[in-house]
Amino acid sequence: MSKISVFLLLIGSVLLIALIYSITQAPLQSRLLTNHQLLTTHVEGKQFPKTLIDPIGQSHQLLTPPLKIVSTVLAVDEILSELIPVNRLTGVTFLVDEPGISNVVGHYPKTIRRVHAEVETLLSLQPDLVIVANYTDATTVRLLLAAHIPVLRLSSHNSFEGIQQNILLLGEVLGTPIKAQQLVNQLQDQLTRIKTRTQNAPSPRIVYYGPNGASTGSDTLMDASIALIGAQNVLNEVNIQGHTNVSAELVIGLQPDVIIVSASFGEDPQHWKIQLINDPKWRDVPAIKNNRVYSVPGAWLTSVSQYRITGVEQLAALVHPTLFSVNAAINNAINNEAHSLTNPALQETSLVEDR
């Protein structure tokens, strides 16, 4: 074979390899650089090494449980507080220090970086796992993936089943499946207890109504919480879905039996509650006439972690006072929002069943 033939053969081989590479990598690059839908992460394997399938379908080999973890989701911060020691985290969301919405205030030392999910900060921490949610900025997620950082993306936050799935997935990826299963079992026991106790109770019509008309329809965790305590979400009567803002006129027209208000980011639910009670246009609403406007701490009632059950327990106690009662310390927290989750008195069992 002549030198020219060998050279042409070599060139042809290189071009063929380049063509194969471009074909196999094109879908991956497309998913990184376009609006291709990001997926929920899943994991393969029961023992380490395991395979993590990231939001664009890439496989990452996890030889051992991740040790430099960054969480960009408050619910994950709350779940991880029950699953792993704090020294395995290099970053948590800045929201962990917000008492209005966080159930883990004081749990994570200040030596752990507080993050706002900026990609530069996340990369600087050199994590071996970043945990995001389906509402995390897609560009941030794609940049992390382009940097070959394993990303665990959770996308189920609108049901108790979704919370349990998130806990189990985190347990599998982090190497703590037994703790995760125990946490799920505990949550399931609490859910069953509430459902059993309220199944034959009256079914009041409830609305969750916050400042600026913030409310929730079907396919939300609030809707699931209302259903769990044997009540009805009045917004389902007008086919409202998801998280939305509704007008005062609509809520007044629906004549709810109970109004639930909550607070976050320094808002005062008592101020909002007093506004509703004193507003003349609300005076004929059953919830106002019968003094059934209730305030529940936002950290409990808006959480999408295992702590949500605490809010549901308090809601059950308020809506069905003959079936449930709460201890005095927590009752004071509900009525005054003057709670501190570092106070031992508020860490006692939150639900006391009447015998």
Residue 328 confidence (pLDDT):
43
Stretch 99-125: mean pLDDT: 95
**Cα gap 104→81, rounded to integer Å:** 8
Helices (H), the chain: 3-33, 74-83, 119-124, 138-146, 160-174, 177-198, 221-228, 248-254, 269-278, 286-289, 298-301, 308-319, 328-336
Taking a C-beta distance cutoff of 8 angstroms, is the pair 92, 121 a contact? no
| Domains 42-184 and 200-353 equal at CATH topology level | yes
**Cα gap 136→154, rounded to integer Å:** 10
Considering the entire predicted model, what is its pTM?
A: 0.82
According to CATH, the topology of domain 200-353 is Rossmann fold (3.40.50)
Instruction: Write the pLDDT tens digit of every residue in 131-150.
Output: 999 889 989 999 999 999 99
Whether 329 has a pLDDT exceeding 60, the answer reads: no
38 falls in which pLDDT band (50, 70, 90)? confident
Instruction: Write the pLDDT tens digit of every residue in 273-303.
Output: 888 899 999 999 999 999 999 988 778 888 9
Alpha-carbon distances of 98 from 80, 94, 213, 341, rounded to whole Å: 17, 8, 23, 11
Stretch 252-266: mean pLDDT: 85
Residue 267 confidence (pLDDT):
65
Taking a C-beta distance cutoff of 8 angstroms, is the pair 268, 335 a contact? no
Is the link from the previous residue into 286 a cis peptide, with omega within 30 of 0? no
Residue 341 confidence (pLDDT):
33
All structural domains of the chain with their residue ranges: 42-184, 200-353
Q: pLDDT over 70 for what percent of the chain?
A: 79
According to CATH, the topology of domain 42-184 is Rossmann fold (3.40.50)
